[in-house]
Amino acid sequence: MVTVNTRRSVMTLFSSPTCAMSHCARLALHEKGVTAEIEYFDPTDPPESLLELNPNGTSPTLVERDLVLYDARIIMEYLDERFPHPPLHQMDPVSRANARMIIKRIDQDWYNLLDEVLNSGEKKSARAKKMLREGLVAAVPLFAANEFFMSEDFSLIDCSLAPLLWRLPSIGIELPESAQIINTYAQKLFRREAFAESLSEEEHEMAKLPGKK
């Protein structure tokens, strides 16, 4: 966290149009129904207006008055606490702690592999792709246990999973018939109004929303 005089009267989310973590933050923003400006930028050439707030120029970066946050998971937690309705975490401390641990495992087990697929050499990328596919298939019982992922209610966990699942076709991962429950879960998330609103133009090209040509 950084506190500076940003001179911004409207909450602003600086976001890469293709980064999955940035997509998570955008999805949480839209699920909360928060009025904010989303400024897309090329992470390899961040604008000066962002560098003045976050010298690393990382995506996503959230700015609200004198507050600057630049970690997707912290941004998502902040939005949920700053705008309590609708809640994206259960209210009791044990459930919230468990949800945070699940998101941490998703990051460690699946997002790290997605990063390898996208940013490694051919051999390492192929290995990461295989591991990601196998990891998702192994989690089928978890996807099948509840209406949403390990919960009966939509939560920040689902905000974390939706961008990952959306990117599977674009990286050449097709789940087997035995994992159909994951595809069903994914389509349920993709049909949400907030998810459609969260997509950048580039993300629209990664896959198509159900029922749209």
- Positions marked active-site: 19
Position 166, amino acid: W
**Rounded distance between C-alpha atoms, residue 208 and residue 165, angstroms:** 12
CA atoms within 13 A on the CB side of 105: 12
Query: How far is the C-alpha of 160 from the C-alpha of 165, rounded, in Å?
Result: 9
Location of structure tokens 């390492």: 124
- In which region does residue 113 sit, left (phi positive, over 0), alpha (psi from -120 to 50) or beta (all else)? alpha
124-158 as b/e, with b when 16 or more CB fall inside 10 Å? ebeebbebbbeebeebbeebeeeebbebeebbbbb
Q: How far apart are CA 201 and CA 203, in angstroms?
A: 5
Listing DSSP states for 137-179 in one string gives: HHTHHHHHHSSBTTBSS--HHHHHHHHHHHHTGGGT----GGG
Amino acid identity, position 87: P
